C-alpha cells in the first residue's frame, strides 16, 4: 500500500500539472506533425506584443498593394507619441524626425517599440483591418481589437487581442512558405532573425548552429508574477529542418520557463 505521503505527493503533482496546463499553451509544427504541450493548442491566450508579428504580415500586404516602398519616409512629431510606454524611438527624436516604413517595422519587430507599432496602425490600417486580412488567409483564431495605446490605457483590453497557439504556429508556417513572394515579407524575415528581445526564451533552447526568427510578448506584471510571457517564431535547424513554434504562458515568475518548454518540443 502506498503511504499517505506518497499519495499526497501524487495528488499535488497532478494538481500542479493541471494548473500548468491551464496557464501554458505551446504548439510546434514538425514536418507533417502538430505537437501540442499540455493539450492547450486551441485555447485562447493574450498575444501582448506578439501581435506585432501578424500586424507586420498585414503591413507587407498593405505596402505591396499600394506600391509603397520600405524606403518611403513619414514625419513623426515627438509630441504626438505616447511618452509613458516602451518606446526606444523616443530617444531618437528631439522635436520631429523622419522614419521610413522599414525603420518603423524594425523598431516594432526587433525592439518591440509600442509607438512604432501604433504608427503602423495609423499609417497602414487598424487592428480590425489586420484581423480581416488574417481571416481572408484562413486564420480565424487570431483576434486584434486594440492598439498598444488603447491597451496601455486599460490593461484589461489585452484580453481582446488573443490567439490560439495552433493558429499562430500555422501563421508562422504560412509566413515561412510565402516569405520569398514579397520583398517586404523577406525584409520582415530578416528583422525577426535579428530580434533583440527574448534571449532567455526560445533562443535559449536552441541547439548549436540553429537560428530563430521570432517575436516576443510580455504582459503587465502583478507583483513578482508576469501576466503573459510569450515567444513565437521559426526555428531553422543546422540540417535545414524548419520548426514553427508558438509558446504562451499566462502566469509565471520565471521567463526561463519558455525555454524549458521549447526544449521539450524541439527534442527528437
Q: Which active-site residues does the annotation give?
A: 49
Other C-beta atoms closer than 10 Å to the C-beta of 157 total: 15
The DSSP output letter for 158 is G
Return d(Cα 37, Cα 158) in angstroms, integer. Answer: 23
Residue for grid cell 507599432: 117
What torsion do the CA atoms of 151, 52, 21, 256 make, to the nearest 10 degrees?
Answer: -100
Distances (CA, A) of 53 to 9, 48, 96, 137: 42, 11, 27, 15
Contacts of the segment 81-85: beta carbons below 8 A, 24+ positions apart: 81/115, 82/114, 82/115, 82/118, 82/148, 82/149, 82/152, 84/152, 85/114, 85/115, 85/148, 85/149, 85/152
The β-bridge partners of 247 are: 26, 231
Q: Is the dihedral of CA 197, 97, 184, 56 positive or negative?
A: positive
3-class SS of residue 223: coil
Amino acid at each position: 500500500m502506498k503511504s499517505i505521503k506518497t499519495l499526497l505527493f501524487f495528488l499535488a503533482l497532478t494538481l500542479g500539472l493541471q494548473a500548468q496546463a491551464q496557464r501554458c499553451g505551446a504548439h510546434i509544427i514538425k514536418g507533417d506533425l502538430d505537437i501540442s504541450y499540455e493539450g492547450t493548442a486551441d485555447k485562447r491566450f493574450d498575444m501582448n506584443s506578439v501581435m506585432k508579428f501578424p500586424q507586420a504580415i498585414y503591413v507587407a500586404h498593405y505596402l505591396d498593394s499600394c506600391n509603397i516602398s520600405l524606403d518611403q519616409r513619414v514625419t513623426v512629431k515627438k509630441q504626438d507619441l505616447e511618452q509613458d510606454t516602451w518606446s526606444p524611438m523616443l530617444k531618437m527624436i528631439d522635436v520631429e524626425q523622419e522614419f521610413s516604413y522599414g525603420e518603423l517595422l524594425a523598431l516594432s519587430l526587433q525592439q518591440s517599440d509600442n509607438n512604432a507599432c501604433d504608427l503602423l496602425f495609423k499609417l497602414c490600417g487598424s487592428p480590425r483591418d489586420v484581423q480581416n486580412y488574417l481571416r481572408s488567409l484562413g486564420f480565424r483564431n487570431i483576434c486584434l481589437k486594440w492598439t498598444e495605446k488603447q491597451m496601455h490605457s486599460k490593461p484589461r483590453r489585452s484580453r481582446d487581442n488573443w490567439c490560439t497557439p495552433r493558429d499562430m504556429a500555422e501563421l508562422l508556417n504560412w509566413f515561412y512558405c510565402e516569405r520569398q513572394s514579397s520583398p517586404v515579407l523577406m525584409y520582415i524575415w530578416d528583422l525577426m532573425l535579428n530580434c533583440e528581445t527574448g534571449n532567455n526564451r526560445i533562443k535559449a533552447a536552441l541547439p548549436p548552429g540553429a537560428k530563430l526568427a521570432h517575436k516576443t510578448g510580455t504582459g503587465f506584471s502583478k507583483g513578482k508574477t508576469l501576466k503573459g510571457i510569450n515567444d513565437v517564431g521559426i526555428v531553422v535547424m543546422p540540417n535545414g529542418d524548419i520548426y514553427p513554434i508558438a509558446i504562451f504562458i499566462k502566469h509565471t515568475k520565471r521567463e526561463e520557463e519558455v525555454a524549458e518548454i521549447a526544449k521539450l518540443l524541439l527534442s527528437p
